Chains A and B, each alone.
Chain A
């Protein structure tokens, strides 16, 4: 077309904003993808179950890690160490028990047989807390300062809930055996 051959003004240079924005978006998307991969690798070891934490005790040393297990009902004691609230209990998973000393308030839904996820580290020795009923009683305890409750996907309203739970949960069986021992 002859129109295209007509004299033209030089095209304005792309504004800095137009150049920076695509780069920023590309970097953000790349960072998100890297974050995804990073998270998948790390997430596969988000926490050690109680039996794995016991198995890897020597390897973990005093390293901070996350532990998961079901609280054993008869082991739960709440009190204070100085001004700090302390919850002393044991958790079980995979046939192993771990004694826990949690510094801080327990989670709202903290209760026997509902799994908890705890951040802390191994400590050898006696925590110096009275009225303990340690189930593992192996000279070690897990000093925790962060507690999350890992509730399940049962959304039930049942008057006989406690009875049903005690009958159905494998953890409850472990608890009854451990507590009677």
Chain B
């Protein structure tokens, strides 16, 4: 990658790669809507309500992926003190919260016509997913607190790793509590899907994944720029402090 001259530094966060990914997301979304609503067949039991699977399952899978990246980034911060990984962890957590929120919301909307309820507090999959969501909201809250950059990164990394313990529990809950949960087993790995239903579902996963990569590229750069701003403000404050100290010192000598 060529380095732009400072005077030509961009005032945006896009690049050729992100543009291509963005176009791919838009084209993929059009295909997903067409196939999701008009291509894939209705289900014998659920009729057209099954079409919510095409947004629910990709959101759930990207929740796992995004929070896993956050966990890796948090470990790398704690181990290597890598700012790059810290920014990746933060950006991925932000996206993970969105995907997790969408998983809960679309699952709830899908649950009403199929399960006959929006929510069930007794279901392990549902409640562990909600707890994961709350923990990562807590992660973002820790990140938004002011103070020392390094201390915030360390505190939030610990919260992320606590939340990461919940990830396999959420994912495997329908297996570990088989016959004890309202939630069905994995649709992708254990399900029996019509060919076009499976294709559309996989397309949804691909589109959501490309969106994640696109958003991560932008979010990382935003994080980097905002960090530059904070560090720049700190440098400016230190310079001002030194100037004040010099002035006070000069005054004392007179």
Contact = CB atoms under 8 A, between A and B. Distances in A.
A and B touch in the complex (CB under 8 A): yes
A43 B181 contact: yes
Interface string B151-169: 0000000010010001001
A155 B129 CA distance: 23
B182 A155 contact: no
B105 interface: no
Contact of A148 (B120, B194, B246, B248): B120
Interface string B94-117: 000000000000000000011111
Given A6-B245, A150-B182, A25 B131 contact: no
A57 B113 CA distance: 32
Given A46-B124, A46-B181, A147-B116, A153 B135 contact: no
B192 A117 contact: no
Given A2-B249, A36-B128, A44-B180, A153 B190 contact: yes
A157 B48 CA distance: 11
B180 A149 contact: no
A153 B44 contact: no
A35 B138 CA distance: 15
A153 B191 contact: yes
B185 A153 contact: yes
Given A7-B248, A43-B123, A45-B180, A28 B134 contact: yes
A150 B122 CA distance: 13
A160 B89 CA distance: 50
A153 B184 contact: yes
B249 A154 contact: no
B192 A29 contact: no
Interface residues of A, number: 46
B193 A35 contact: no
A60 interface: no
B141 A25 contact: yes
Sort chain B's interface into a size bin: 35 or more
Contacts of B113: 108-109
Nearest to A105: B116
B46 A109 contact: yes
A33 interface: yes
Contact of B116 (A18, A35, A148): A148
B138 A157 contact: no
Interface in A128-171: 146-158, 161
Contact of B184 (A22, A25, A49, A152): A152
Interface string B222-254: 000000000000000000011011101100000
Given A21-B141, A42-B122, A29 B127 contact: no
B30 interface: no
B169 to A, nearest CB: 7
B117 A39 contact: no
A78 B113 CA distance: 20
Interface of B: 41-46, 50, 53, 113-117, 120, 122-124, 127-128, 131, 134-135, 138, 141-142, 145-146, 159, 162, 166, 169, 173, 177, 179-182, 184-187, 190-194, 197, 241-242, 244-246, 248-249
Interface of A: 2-3, 6-7, 18, 21-22, 25, 28-29, 32-33, 35-36, 39-40, 42-47, 49, 66, 68, 107-111, 114, 117, 146-158, 161
Give me the 3 closest cross-chain CB pairs, A-B, nearest first.
A107-B116, A6-B245, A43-B124
27 contacts: A3-B241, A6-B244, A6-B248, A6-B249, A18-B145, A18-B146, A22-B145, A29-B138, A29-B159, A29-B162, A32-B135, A35-B127, A39-B127, A40-B169, A43-B122, A43-B181, A44-B177, A46-B124, A46-B177, A107-B116, A110-B116, A148-B120, A151-B45, A152-B185, A154-B193, A156-B43, A157-B42
